[in-house]
Amino acid sequence: MGKALVLLSGGLDSSTCAAMAVKAHGAENVHALTIFYGQKHQTEIEAAKNIAEALGLASHSVVSLPLEPFKGAGSTLIDPDKPNPELTYQQIAESTGPSPTYVPFRNANLLSLATAIALRDGCEEVYYGPHAEDARNFAYPDCTPEFNGAMANAIFVGTYFKVKLITPLQWMMKADVAWTALELGVPIELTHSCYNGKRPACGKCPTCVERIEAFKAIGVKDPLPYEIQIDWGDCR
């Protein structure tokens, strides 16, 4: 069946990837890796630990990248003087170009570290969870199919053809991810997706808004608590 390594941030996307890896490999063969790179929303690290435990994964490791490469790059996820944007879902959908939350070349760095660990530990696959809305209008160029394909090739060749990159959410919209998470029994209430790292989640940052709209689209109330009142309408 082989072993797999999952980049697990603690958010809905990566947690769904973890559940998909469990389905493919069995929990005893899935290892989780959480990486700190200076992000403000460190509460996701605790969420990742809880998700790994709930899914019964073989192990969960937390490692840190050097922070210097990302300092001064202007990302609102890292810069303490730059607040994260508050956008409506329509504004998110219509925006073009890099998001202010974009961390320059972050995913390449995360995947390089994950690949080295996977090769060292005998894992044949690395799972990570960019989805179609991440790539839309090049908001995050390191989430696009073009980037994912290039990294998949580099990883496979650079590991003597031993490690494959798996991006199972690549063609999914966020609502598809939410539905898949429900179908796979992901403990959604343990996930955390707020860029501001708030508990309850702020409900206003781009990732909160995207998540709320995704659950509304599938007619299900998000079990994650928010600090603002959410109109769930007819959601069950």
Task: Please report the pLDDT score of residue 93 as a whole number.
Answer: 62
User: Considering the entire predicted model, what is its pTM?
Assistant: 0.94
- Domain 4-81+98-194 - what CATH class? alpha beta
Structure tokens belonging to residue 89: 């879902």
**pLDDT at residue 47 in the model:** 95
Q: What number is the average pLDDT over the span 201-206? A: 93
* C-alpha span between 152 and 175 (Å, rounded): 25
What are the DSSP calls for 199-225, one per residue? SSB-S-SHHHHHHHHHHHHTT----S-
Give the DSSP H/E element, type plus range, for residue 6: strand 4-7
Q: Which tens digits make up the pLDDT trace of 85-134?
A: 887 656 766 777 778 888 999 999 999 999 999 999 999 999 999 999 98
CA atoms of 35 and 95, how far apart (whole Å): 28
Domain ranges of the chain: 4-81+98-194
Q: What is the 3-state secondary structure (H, E, C) of 22-40?
A: HHHHCHHHEEEEEEECCCC
Lowest mean pLDDT, pick from 99-103, 164-168, 207-211? 99-103
* Distance between CA atoms of residues 40 and 42, nearest Å: 6
List pLDDT tens digits, range 33-82. 999 998 987 888 999 999 999 999 999 999 999 888 888 888 888 988 88
Residues 6+ apart with CB under 8 A from 153: none
- Signed CA dihedral, 22, 24, 30, 32: sign only: negative
C-alpha to C-alpha distance for 158 and 156, rounded to whole angstroms: 6
The pLDDT-based confidence of 5 (bands split at 50, 70, 90) is: very high
205: pLDDT confidence band, cut at 50, 70 and 90?
Answer: very high
